[in-house]
Structure 1
Amino acid sequence: MSWLHPLIRGTNPIGTIVAFPYGGGGLNALNFLAKGVPPGLDVWGVLLPGRPGRWQEPAATRMDQVVPPIVAALKALPRRPLVLAGHSLGAAIAHAVAEALVRVGRPPLGLVVSGRRAPHLPPNRSPVWELDDAGLDQELRRLGGTPPEVLENRDLMDLMRPLLRADFTLSDSYRVATPAPLPLELLALAGDADTTVTVEEVAAWETVRARGFQLQTMKGGHFFIQENPDDYVRLIHSLFLKNALAASSTGEPPS
């Protein structure tokens, strides 16, 4: 049972990106990161239970089922500047992991959250996991990101729905009434045509009181990172560049 899988192993890496998949996604949902990341960075993908490679394990429905083992796996990596990046459900898990890493004295350099409302905001929709099969399929069509041929494959959808319900449970139940301040750079990304998460809801991540906060709006709907993969990777890389410039101005090594 391995929670982290290498997507890119850089030569003499100066930093590490750890990517968290969106709901229903496995490592294949993160492969686009391997195409645009500049040399000098390691990229690891988080493999959650219930996906290919971990089919025999039940999908998680609570953060306490995923955060501790991910934190343990991250602590075993070489200690380099670390950026956590997640989209939608992945952003929620990445935030929970960032808070846990801060508590154990291993704060990441940066956190990139995309397509995700700030953690203190109340739900803006009825629980998706309570929908019947037809309602769940309709919600997936509305969100986008799921190929039509998958939605039309009855056997495949029968296999996937338990995982999707678990992921929606994990995602929709995550709320932090008073997020802890985070000593890191926080980059929040919103899709200008996202009807699920508004730009204002993404902008509310500023209340997390990170060391530095930046909001970027990108073209596209809820899965705008799939529509703009190069821009997404460039923005993640900018956190490492910003850290390197800050270190050079102070004479201190990157942390």
Structure 2
Amino acid sequence: MFEYLPLAHQVPEEWRAQSAVFSELFFVFLVVGTLVGVVVVAYTMYNLYRNRDDGTGPEGFEAPKLGELPTGQTGGKSSKLFLSFGLSAIIVISLVVYSYGLLLYVEQGPSGDVADEQNMEVEVVGIQFAWQFHYPNGVQTTGTLNVSQGEVVRLAVTSDDVWHNFGAPELRVKADAIPGEYSHTWFIANETGTYDVKCYELCGSGHSQMTAEIVVMEEEEFNEWYESAGANVTETPTPTPDDHGGEDDEGGGHGSVPAHGDAAATARMGVAA
């Protein structure tokens, strides 16, 4: 029954949280943008000062008019023009290649045999106006997602009524919750604590109250909770997202998920976090 219980492990260094990836992207673009801006502004100010009109310009010189392209760009001037375009192209292409590699990692998540074995897959179901979490061993919680520190947590996000959007800003996690479909995302929480979850799609009068929390526990604490909560499960474990019949299942194909708006059933379901 507990074959999905996470095993003790040490997270490889190459496994990076999405928040760390986005922070690095922001820092790199900030530094590069600042350096380029300083160089461009300094060079512009230097040329403004060097070529200022002090009344001693060469005879017969006609300054270009507004909207007119300069002519006679040969020699050193044309070299500078091509040099500036070349440097700009190198910087932009380098940033695109660098960003693409990181964003590809964010899209796919950690890979490899070790990553596949150490995943915790959780189904997230949005209803008006709450978030429900279905664990592999049949445990169901409402409003609280408990995870292990350093664990790769993969989420299959869907909805049982209207469009929602599952988001945890501090973990840089965001996924659409669409009725009849699954959006897949993942995260790694390297620090214990509580992280807020909100709905970022206007979904009705209770939209602003549609919140939850992700509680990151130390590994031993989480394993103890997971085993204890699983022992109290009396219903058939919730099917994985691939097993849902979608259109063939009544009530959206989410097993024992209560009917929309049944607040009492929603409050009763699941295991207390």
Question: Is the shorter-chain TM-score for this pair beyond 0.5, marking a shared fold?
Answer: no
Higher-Rg member (1/2): 2
Taking structure 1 as the reference length, what is the TM-score of the superposition?
0.26
Taking structure 2 as the reference length, what is the TM-score of the superposition?
0.24
